[in-house]
Amino acid sequence: MTSAGRPRAKRDSGTEARILEAARAVFVRSGTGGARMQEIAAEAGVNQALLHYYFRSKDQLAQAVFRELGTRIVPSILGAFASDDSLDRKIERFVHAYIDAVRESPFIPGYILAELHFNPERLTTLAEQITGSDPANAMRSFVERLRVDLNQQAAIGAMRSIAPEQFLVNLIALCVFPFAARPVLRLLLGQDDDAFSRFLDERRAELPDFILNALRP
Count the Cβ atoms, other than its own, within 10 Å of residue 208: 20
- Nearest residue (CB) to a copy of itself, 85 versus 165: 165
Choose from DNA, a copy of itself, none: what does 2 bind? Cβ within 5-8 Å by kind.
Answer: DNA
First CA to last CA across the chain, in angstroms? 66
CA distance 192 to 4: 52
Q: What is the CA radius of gyration of the chain?
A: 21
CB of 110 to DNA, least distance (A): 21
CB of 31 to DNA, least distance (A): 11
106: which DSSP letter? T
Choose from DNA, a copy of itself, none: what does 53 bind? Cβ within 5-8 Å by kind.
Answer: DNA
- Nearest residue (CB) to DNA, 14 versus 120: 14
Query: 59-70 burial, b if ≥16 CB within 10 A, otherwise e?
Result: eebbbbbbeebb
CB of 107 to a copy of itself, least distance (A): 7
Choose from DNA, a copy of itself, none: what does 202 bind? Cβ within 5-8 Å by kind.
Answer: a copy of itself
Among the listed residues 68, 73, 85, 66, the one whose alpha carbon sits nearest the alpha carbon of residue 28: 66
- Nearest residue (CB) to a copy of itself, 50 versus 162: 162
Contacts of 35 (CB under 8 A, 6+ apart): 23, 26, 27, 58, 62
Could you tell me where the DSSP H helices lie in 35-86? 37-44, 48-54, 58-82
CA distance 4 to 15: 21
| Binding site residues, a copy of itself, CB under 8 A | 29-35, 107, 110-111, 113-114, 116-118, 120, 123-124, 127, 135-136, 139-140, 143, 160, 162-163, 165-166, 169-170, 172-174, 176-178, 180-181, 183-190, 199, 202-203, 206, 210-211, 213-216
Choose from a copy of itself, DNA, none: what does 56 bind? Cβ within 5-8 Å by kind.
Answer: DNA
| Binding site residues, DNA, CB under 7 A | 1-2, 5-13, 15-16, 35-38, 46-50, 52-53, 56-59
Count the Cβ atoms, other than its own, within 10 Å of residue 99: 19
- Nearest residue (CB) to a copy of itself, 9 versus 36: 36
Choose from DNA, a copy of itself, none: what does 170 bind? Cβ within 5-8 Å by kind.
Answer: a copy of itself
The answer to whether the CB of 44 falls within 8 A of the CB of 17 is no
